[in-house]
Structure 1
């Protein structure tokens, strides 16, 4: 299907969903049988909204209607995200332009769905998305994203499980764009990331939201008292985790300042073991295995 036809179909689907949201009194917690074709359009609708600059509009909405109120989200190398507002921030706001130094890039496209399977209200897809990384010399790279997504009868996302494939390799590629010597590259990245986080803290985290006694205290903690973090440690007690959450501070300092602070605010700590992550039973909104009719 050509891109223009996909876009036209997505817009038609969005109009239909708007009508459905006003007229459909079906229990949204039920498991609808949406069918392959509609799930394909819903998958494309998500990525159309995810692309810059469309993601700016979604982020400004505070509560994007693409999500259900009780949406549950999980991103493999970070943490779990509950509710529409938090997911709007992390799925859309996190990828919008920012003054922060960050390994999080901007999805400028194009995107291409490489693999897709769908049944009932569930779709599994592998999508390649073009990103630009402003903090790393505006390097442009493709990023492969694996998703499992379920929708309710109002065509809202109720659950998603996401993996950024080969993220470790991407992380190393970004670092080496700063310097061909890995040690120097890491040192440059640590200095830039820590300085950025501390600047954000000084600007937004005041009063009861204050996490550090001074910019010097902040910088020392981030560069000397915690580890930088490997690619799978974006939800652990690392500089990298706090860098991810720094972008969110501007949206709700009362919620996110603690995430860049010393104790990590429940988002950046070492409380979860490998076994816990593997065995965690998190999703409750809808079965991941389609029902047999």
Structure 2
């Protein structure tokens, strides 16, 4: 007697791990939405170890415009520390990437241990409060703790094409620049002053990346491009600006990211490497505990 294909697939799927409860996943979503918003993100960043993320290096996170982060410490710093640092650090007056204020859920899908959520979130850019739309895929372990996430910002290039011209006018006045200063240069000067002042304060001794503040300014202003938002994880001024708020948290780790080499974060990636999958598991939640591997022959 021939065994039906669906029975074979169920056997191939094996014994599934216990799934987290709906209450655990919704509880995470509610708390995460609060914690990433200002001012709660300040306390979340200070923890360095966000308890909603899996311990140690058992958490992999990716944000499409910045890059991939491995481990609880890095993910805590870059998800919460970036925005809290912009709100309280060197660039308080004019954050170039904005500060998150709130969250409204637009779409929500939950199946087994997978959650896909689309949110609308306002960001404060000083010159305007601007809506953004994010989609994040979360994968949970059986205790309701996130083991991996993948986030995208919808129409990120259009967002910054909309806000940076307004920032230019504000920055020219704030920095005392000539009225004909270009948008790129006004933003680079704001970023360079923040990067280099924070480097001078926190990157000391063996963590020092530049001989002087002047050398830092020359490098940031003239040796690397500002970069577009999709290059926020490449060898650009924008990448170093994004990494600057983390300098007070762990200088030994983050000072190389703002230096000439960019450390293991701010360096150029090929298109092919940008497409590489960093996740140990697929974001898949199929009926009856089926797996992608088990369905491979049917797809």
Class of the TM-score when normalised by the shorter of the 2 chains: 0.7 to 0.9
1:219 aligns to 2:217 (yes or no)? yes
Aligned to 2:9: none
The correspondence for 1:159, drawn from 138, 144, 148, is: 148
Secondary structure at the residue paired with 1:92?
helix
Other-structure match for 2:277: 281
* Structural mapping, 1:186-265, within 5 Å: 186-265=184-263
Q: How much is the aligned-residue C-alpha RMSD, in angstroms? A: 1.9
Asked if 1:121 is matched to 2:118, the reply is no
Q: Would the alpha carbon gap of residues 182 and 242 (structure 1) be closer, same or farther in structure 2, given more than 3 Å must change?
A: farther
Give the match for residue 7 of structure 2: none
Match of 1:78 among 33, 43, 66: 66
Q: Is the 8 A contact 1:125 1:147 kept in 2?
A: yes
Deviation at 1:37, TM superposition (A): 6.0
1:267 aligns with one of 249, 259, 265: 265
The normalised TM-score by structure 1 is 0.82
Does residue 68 (structure 1) correspond to residue 47 (structure 2)? The answer is no
> Which has the greater radius of gyration?
2
1:98 matched to 2:88? The reply is: yes
State the 1:275 CA deviation.
1.5
For 1:168 and 1:32, how far apart are their aligned partners in 2? Answer: 40
The answer to whether the 8 Å contact 1:36/1:119 transfers is no
TM-score, normalising length: structure 2:
0.81
- Assess if the C-alpha contact under 8 Å between 1:108 and 1:130 holds in 2: yes
Structure 1 stretches lacking a partner, 5+ long = 1-29
Structure 2: 5+ residue runs without aligned partners?
A: 1-15, 170-178, 290-299
Q: Is the 8 A contact 1:131 1:142 kept in 2?
A: yes
**CA distance, structure 2, for counterparts of residue 176 and residue 182 of structure 1:** 13
Aligned to 1:57: 43
Consecutive aligned runs of 4 or more in structure 1 exceeding 6 Å deviation = 180-183
Q: CA deviation at 1:175?
A: 1.3
Q: Deviations over 1:23-64 (max 9, x none)?
A: xxxxxxx74323656534432232122222222221122211
Q: Is the 8 A contact 1:94 1:104 kept in 2?
A: no
Contact persistence 1:103–1:171 (CA under 8 A): no
Name the count of aligned residue pairs. Answer: 257
Q: Aligned-pair distance for 1:218?
A: 0.6
In structure 2, what is the equivalent of residue 32 of structure 1? 18
Q: CA deviation at 1:196?
A: 1.1
Deviation at 1:133, TM superposition (A): 2.0
Determine which structure has the larger strand proportion and give its number.
Answer: 1
SS at 2:150 equivalent: strand
CA distances 1:165-222 after superposition (whole Å, capped 9, x unpaired):
1111221222111346996222211111111111111111111011011111111111
